[in-house]
Structure 1
């Protein structure tokens, strides 16, 4: 969706994509069922049709928007709409796992489809009404509870927040040293399209360069990945087999903790996991560190 920053025209028809290689990746990596997302999730849906379905629906609609934005992939879009239509009942199923901010971001993408591309999705009016009422309730509740946590949540789901200047100025406060918002490529791309700052663009370019045009949901995720792996090994009770590797990783994570590394402290999940695992392994950390 990100236009090249050198484009002088404000007319989207005169603009070109900033990252054409990612557009090619989308065209080359659609799953057989018409979706985009984690390959394992697509493969396993034959056995467990609800597995990460909301995540796949979100990824698929995002790819549809990118293809529509640049006028390519008509057949891909047709296949994707079929996938969305077949699985539309999951959109309002609260029992299914959803990405953070899904209930705000997905309705925003639906609005973009209709308003910018005159694209009507195969969704019934009851589902649409339920989603937008839920979205409005979430945003209304957030508006009445101003806090750092509230602002951080809204900044994290920036791609669902529209054109509000107040939002983007608040979101800018959460920009990390690497130019990102919370190490999130999607939130950072949304911020760049509104703020047009060089740091956000540099972060996005680094992702494309490092990942060969395949953009991950979070980047970088080194500390969180290490913590998750250590947690899984300890849960299985086989940590004695990897004692040296775990000790080396925890020493590095503890150093990052002492240095106040933003990869730990600006992400609540990573911070809480790091505190728990470091404390369990007798590292001298405290909640007030």
Structure 2
């Protein structure tokens, strides 16, 4: 965005091409399903629009879809009040660069992860470093640059997420007998890092989620590790519903498909897993009936068929 803004006032083909791209792609948001947008999009994109307007870029700011995204941003920020944002780690940390006007940086330092980042986000950590010059932020950013050299991922590390999904995929492919030693080492790693409130995408991440927790808990149980389903209590939202993250404004399919699969290895009398199955199945059935089985966390061509086959096993046979 900044490179476009820097050249916006200068004549020339490059500037026109970039502006045309932004203008046409912004209009495409009208047709795009929100589920396909990247993580934190509703927080970050409005701040980019605000910056673009300040640079005088000619963009269709009054599109209904843009106003809707801005409204969603306000709703999400309302769910995580400023005082809470400064007190405990929340998902807003991941997109901190987009809410800098709300941040009191001296109060945020206590929320820094042990690896020096803000919620494993290079962008949020870079914003924090620019405002605080804290050495631990710089150490994390230096580590990212040395690891990836010419680019930076939006989230790193994701060591528990990667391990859980790799083992699950290998087992479902039926080739796990080729990787018994590697799987054993990986499961030991997951078991060491799972907490009473679940598992996060990375070992240094404080905020746990129901997706990683369900996938890894299911795997660990299948391999004989003593995992209690009470870990799901942390994700309950009322008596019979569940959340992936506290304060979320959207619930994905992958989250509750993983929760539904966790129930498949329930033992008699485990009430919370019965509740989880009932809630997850209801959400998945609604998605199937609405033809809305898409998820930014699980980019699979056949996700709809996979979910349908699990929830209605006779439909696709």
Taking a change above 3 Å as real, the CA distance of residues 141 and 75 of structure 1, as seen in their structure-2 partners, is farther
- Alpha-carbon offset, residue 65 of structure 1: 2.4
1:175: Cα distance to partner? 1.1
Q: Point out the more displaced range, 186-195 or 270-279.
A: 270-279
Give secondary structure in 1 for the equivalent of 2:144: helix
Aligned partners of 1:150 and 1:91: how far apart in 2?
33
Bigger Rg, which one: 2
The C-alpha deviation readout for 1:98-136, integer Å capped at 9, x for no partner, is 222211111011112222x33333555433323222322
Give unpaired runs (5+ residues) of structure 2: 232-317
Give the conservation status (yes or no) of the 8 Å contact 1:105–1:157.
yes
Question: What is the aligned-residue RMSD (CA, Å)?
Answer: 3.7
**Counterparts of 1:71-110 in structure 2 under 5 Å?**
78-91=16-29, 93-110=32-49
SS of the residue 2:177 aligns to: helix
CA positional deviation for 1:267:
4.0
Counterparts in 2 of 1:195 and 1:276: CA distance versus 1, 3 Å: farther
Structure 1 residue aligned with 2:155: 218
Q: Indicate the residue corresponding to 2:215 in structure 1.
A: 273
Give, in whole Å, the separation in 2 of the partners of 1:136 and 1:152.
16
2:100 is paired with a residue whose SS is coil
Deviation at 1:211, TM superposition (A): 0.9
* Partner residue, 1:244: 181
Match of residue 91, structure 2, among 153, 162, 170:
153
Conserved 8 A contact 1:151-1:171: no
Task: Find the counterpart in structure 2 of residue 55 from structure 1.
Answer: none
Cα drift, residue 217 of structure 1: 1.5
How many equivalent residue pairs?
A: 223
Structure 2 residue aligned with 1:65: 2
Give the distance between the partners of 1:264 and 1:276, measured in 2 at CA: 20
Number of the residue aligned with 2:125? 188
Unaligned runs of 5+ in 1: 1-63
TM-score for the superposition, normalised by structure 1 = 0.63
Alpha-carbon distance in 2 for matches of 1:238, 1:159: 42
Determine the C-alpha separation between the residues in 2 that align with 1:217 and 1:70. Answer: 26
Post-superposition CA distance 1:186-234 (Å, at most 9, x none): 1111222222211111111111112112111122223321222112222
* Deviation digits for residues 162-202 of structure 1 (CA, Å, limit 9, x no counterpart): 22244x45543331111101111111112222222111111
Superposed CA deviations along residues 45-81 of structure 1, whole A, max 9, x for unmatched, are xxxxxxxxxxxxxxxxxxx22564699x987665444
Specify which of 158, 163, 177 is matched with residue 101 of structure 2: 163
Residue matched to 2:262: none
Q: CA 1:88–1:277 in structure 2 vs 1: closer, same or farther (change >3 Å)?
A: same
Query: How far apart, CA to CA, are the structure 1 residues paired with 2:181 and 2:20?
Result: 50
Q: CA separation in 2, counterparts of 1:163 and 1:156?
A: 15
The question of whether the paired residues in 1 share the 8 Å contact of 2:4 and 2:19 is answered with no
Distance 1:104 1:264, change over 3 A: closer
Report the TM-score, using the length of structure 2 for normalisation: 0.58
Going from structure 1 to structure 2, the CA distance change for 1:224 and 1:124 (only over 3 Å counts) comes to: same
SS across alignment from 2:124: helix
Instruction: Please give the alpha-carbon distance, in whole angstroms, between the structure 1 residues aligned to 2:226 and 2:114.
Output: 27
Tell me: CA distance 1:137–1:170, structure 2 relative to 1, closer, same or farther (3 Å): same
CA distance in 2 between partners of 1:78 and 1:111 (Å): 20
